[in-house]
A and B are shown apart, each in its own frame.
Chain A
């Protein structure tokens, strides 16, 4: 919102022009031409090709960060004239434009080592004003001030909305509260299907879970439909892969696993597992996550699986996940846009700290498919190997007061629509 990038994503998550349009001579040479929109930085200077080059060169100069690694493939960034930038790559990369989603910073401030983390300056629709207890932004187009405040308790958040202390709230409410807000005269609730992927991760080094049939049994022992219907917000749907089917690299042929506790039990027996199978599931102390875990625990029981829930404080939990100290863990991938996630999460050489292959999946065939960027085959192979139990894409919602218009929740829960939001002034 504060920054603008060269490239953005369209509804199918393909790279779409934002600040610039582009032409690639081949997979290693691309020329970006800046358009007229968003060419003014908040400090008044004009955004030029020099700023683009300075931004990407400063990223490449960083050491030991994921961002530097992401752009290590760039051989040269050259500003040809005020509106034209040429990117030259070391090796061919057909998906290169989709990587240029980094906000462009003013070259002058980069040179002066400006503290962008505390005083961001970009060319986006919203301008940074202050960040003390709350974050205050100002819309460049009409000077509308927008304040973002963190309210931890869901009940307090809803009360603030009902009392008019807040105009809008988005995400992270128990569905019962969302349903309640729908019935109130002073509020409106908008829902949309989400794209953030919730899953259970298996530890592939575990002596029992190493067997794919055991993993399949766990997958069949969860009633996603019932959970999505009863205890998730509207717009939630069963998931099949990290990227949803409408994504250009999504796989619409995959079907969500049904709830078949009997088949699951049979699979476990065939695999020679002594029932009940005891599994330890680690999760955070977040109340909704614990609630969902408790439901899954009950659903798995008829399948002969005794799920032991361990809710740990976030630091301990995440540390255990990164170090492979788990049998099963539950997390959500948020805001994933490119199929590169499959390399990051599943390729054999991407175990932490390099990537997020936390369950230590090792599969030569999958690695080859990832390297070939054949995403249909990759998703099918992942679906066969089952390193994750796909759970659901949780729906998104925004609740707002009646006088708020021109706002819609984004599929990944971002706040971009603040660029258009309007509040009818009372007469």
Chain B
């Protein structure tokens, strides 16, 4: 307990497979709709927004260790990766992104990555 320090949110694991990268990002307490992921200039950007007003039943805070704000993190994936190649799943507070190494040639989509 003595060594308690604030920690960075969005802790991530990146794993390399033969044909893809798998990125696991810790995002506990967010709803699926509050997480946005998109590709911008070769970077995969993941943002999570916290709706402060929505937090109901707030009492007197005795202890606060959790990060309660919004956060964003980006990963360089290269220019060849397109948005529609990335698969995203949010489960148990972890966002799992699967990024293929050899993306298929498709037109660039404007929308952000769909999180299932």
Q: Do A and B bind each other?
A: no
